[in-house]
Each structure stands twice: as C-alpha cells, then as structure tokens.
Amino acid sequence: MLMILAMGLYAFSMSITPGPVNLIIFSGGMNRGIHATLPFILGATVGFSLLLLATGLGLGWVVQQHKWLVYSSTVIGCGFMMYLALQLFKSESSVGQTTGMQSGWWTGLMLMWLNPKAWLAAIAGNSLFIEPSQISKLFAFVLIYSLVCFACLLMWAVFGKQVSSHISNNQYVHWLNKGAAVVIVAMCIIVLIDLVT
C-alpha cells in the first residue's frame, strides 16, 4: 500500500508541475474550453503511459547507453515545442473561441514522446520503483501514473477555463497566450543550453 501511495505521489509531483504540456492545456482550457481540450489531454496521457511502459521494458536503458539519442530527441522535442509555442503566440484566440491553435489527440501523444521532461520523469520513475523483470509492478505503476496524470492535466484545463470565466476582456486572453508561448520557448532554450554545457 505504501508503494502505491509513493507511486501516486511521484506521478502527482511530476504531472502537476508547470511544463510545456501543462501550459498548452491551460491555454486550450482558457480559449476553447475543457471539452475541446480533452482530446489533447487523452493523447498526452496515453503518450506518457506508453513512454513509461517502453522505458520500463528497456528503452530507458538503451537511451541512457547512447547519449546521441538523448541529444537528438531533446533537440527534436524542443523544436516541436517551439513550433507549438509559435502557433500559440500567433493565435488570435479569444474566450470561448474554437479556432486558433488546435491541439488534438495525436499532438498530445507526440508531444509526450518529444518532451525531455517526460523522458526524465519516465526513466527516473522506473529507476525509483521498478526492478528488472518486475513486469506486473511496472504495469501497476503505468496504471497509477496514467490515472494521476490524466487528473492533473484535466486540472490544468479546468484552471484555464476558470481563468477565462473571470476575464471579460479578450485582450487579456491574447496576452496570456503570448505569455504562455514565451514561457514554453524559454523552457526549451534552458533545456538546450543545459544540453550543450
């Protein structure tokens, strides 16, 4: 029971903290509402669950043995996140608007596989909780993490929706979108600088 609690707390701490995925979900909840953001949330949850399972089954070890995989996936991931941030920055979304930057199921799934934070969370989580050949424990960890991850990402969408309900001026939403985009780009730049130093 304590192990399940520890896994849940780890999943919560990694899923609730701000990151590119959370900021995109926040913006989606603010601009398009929870229902329209749900496909992205589901895609991100499935994407991370598959990543956690794959790293637990050995992909994490392979990546750690070949540093060029870490570098290339980080650069590609940051490039993709910067592309999404640019779309968010250029979007003319307003409260309740369904146009602008559309982030669906596949985008959420791909972003998790290209997100350096997701890779670190998956590899570190498996290192903490899963011993080699503990397949049943790995599946339990993936299930717990999936449920917690989905709940945390959904909270970001709800938070975005709540913010939009208190904003009557679309100009504020416009600047919040731009601010979220700048933060995503700044995160990517920090990751890339850390990669080369």
Domain ranges (residues) in the chain: 1-9+37-195
**Mind listing the pLDDT tens digit for each residue in 112-168?**
988 888 888 898 898 889 887 789 999 999 999 999 999 999 999 999 999 887 776
pLDDT at 109: 92
pLDDT at 98: 43
Predicted TM-score (pTM) of this structure: 0.81
Regarding predicted confidence, which is higher, 68 or 44?
Answer: 44
Contact call for residues 20 and 81 (beta carbons, < 8 A): yes
Please give the C-alpha separations between residue 172 and each of 27, 87, 161, 175, in angstroms, as whole numbers. Answer: 12, 18, 14, 5
Contact call for residues 27 and 164 (beta carbons, < 8 A): no
**Mind listing the pLDDT tens digit for each residue in 101-111?**
556 889 899 88
